[in-house]
Structure 1
Amino acid sequence: MNRTVIHIENLSKRYRDDERWAVANLGLAIEEGEIFGLLGPNGAGKTTLISMLCGLIKPTAGLVSILGLTYRTCGSKIRSAIGVVPQDFAFYPSLTAEENLRYFGSMYGLKGRQLDENVRQGLERLGLDSYGKKRVDTFSGGMKRRVNLLAGVLHKPAVLFLDEPTVGVDLHSKQAIMDYLRNLNKEGTTIVYTSHHLPEAQEFCSRVGIIESGQLWRTGSPDDLIASVHGARNLEDVFLYVTGKGYRDG
């Protein structure tokens, strides 16, 4: 039986001067080796939940533990064991790909031959080995997305948080990114993934949770969730059943 690597209990968050709870009494357990998809419309609480899991904001109430540790007592240990790949690019565009990766790798404690090997291997696996010494601001969108991914996984984290890892990329870059992530998962990294691209989530995730109004509606494998909603043919149908069909981009 796999161990629980993320444990969430009665987790709540309300921002100052906001009467609405962004996350309300949420509970969840994610096991080692899972690819867990956190899906929900804009304003549902995804970003707040992920920010609490990454230690970027403090909860108003409740408990979060990562790898059996809490941020209150072992924040530095957790941060060294997780990887975070945000939707917005988080690198220095005026530096080369190698310079960026060496910088972020060293922040996670990599050095010497290990740092050299991880940079070399990462660039090679994502088809960037001939671009390592080129400035990232000269790269295409797909290449930047791949560098953004590598910056968050170079230290081979135990748990990886991904936010829209393939947004704005072409088919070839998307395939390279998803294949890389699947291999990373096979090597032992547990993945927590958010995306608005539901067909991708349906194919990629081993389990999915749909969040609405700060609460998890249900969790299960994509097939189980589809089977639970009468007439649903895919995860998009389930998503619309849970969240409604009104516009949510205001």
Structure 2
Amino acid sequence: MSNQKAVNYQARINENGRNDGLFIGGPWRATLNSMHAAGMAPQYDQQTVTVTQTADTKNGSWAEITMRSGQKYWIDLRALSASQTPTGQKDININQLSLTGVSATQKQWLSNLLPAAVTVARNNNLWPSVVLSQAITESAWGQSELATQANNLFGVKATSDWHGAVYNVKTREVAHQEMSVVDFTNKTIHVKKGDSYYVMAAFKKYTTQADGLNDYVDKMATNYRQALKSNSTNYRDAATHLQQAGYATDPNYASSMITRIARYVLNAFD
């Protein structure tokens, strides 16, 4: 292989009469494992995937893709829809942000997330600034236990209709009224409106962060439509809708997101 590059962006398999093979371990004939196709692309036609590497061989140009299941394959680069590949990503540059006071670890995490998050937001009627602010807020700059152990960057809980893996973790809630709750020690406590308390909660566990990002997009389109770009006038409006619709119990959730967007100029990509 030559010209092998690490990348990170969303694409869509677009066979359109093609019959591409899916290869494990490298492009076709690049390794012993990739002499024969492990699967065929037509059965995944129009599925959104994450592209993590590109490379050239004497047989053509190839892309390593990660499916929603977490399985990685190599596929002919021509099988990926041009409308979903890095078109327009030249304007996605972390240097456009104001990251004074941000640690090197945090900056590296954001730099890795940035192209995929902004591209996915733009392709799915979301405000990039809101997506980035939520990811930072919910995952503590990618360093939270939920982010590192479950690839869950958006604090998405496992509801009854979720049939995937779950990860149980201690989480903070804010009481919306006076009530009795069972806390993380399994003890019943009484809280007043506005009190913080901690519970053990089940969250969705994803194979990759890309899977988590795709599921977040589905969640926004299904449960938080007023926060979509076409239904809100700006990122402030969208953030307010998210809080009003109950995305989080923190009464300062929207204002914190708005402050963070302004501080780091996350709306540079809107």
Does the TM-score normalized on the shorter chain lie above 0.5? no
Of structures 1 and 2, the one with the larger relative CO (CA 8 A, separation 6+) is 1
Larger gyration radius, structure 1 or structure 2: 2
- TM-score by length of structure 1 reads 0.30
- TM-score by length of structure 2 reads 0.29
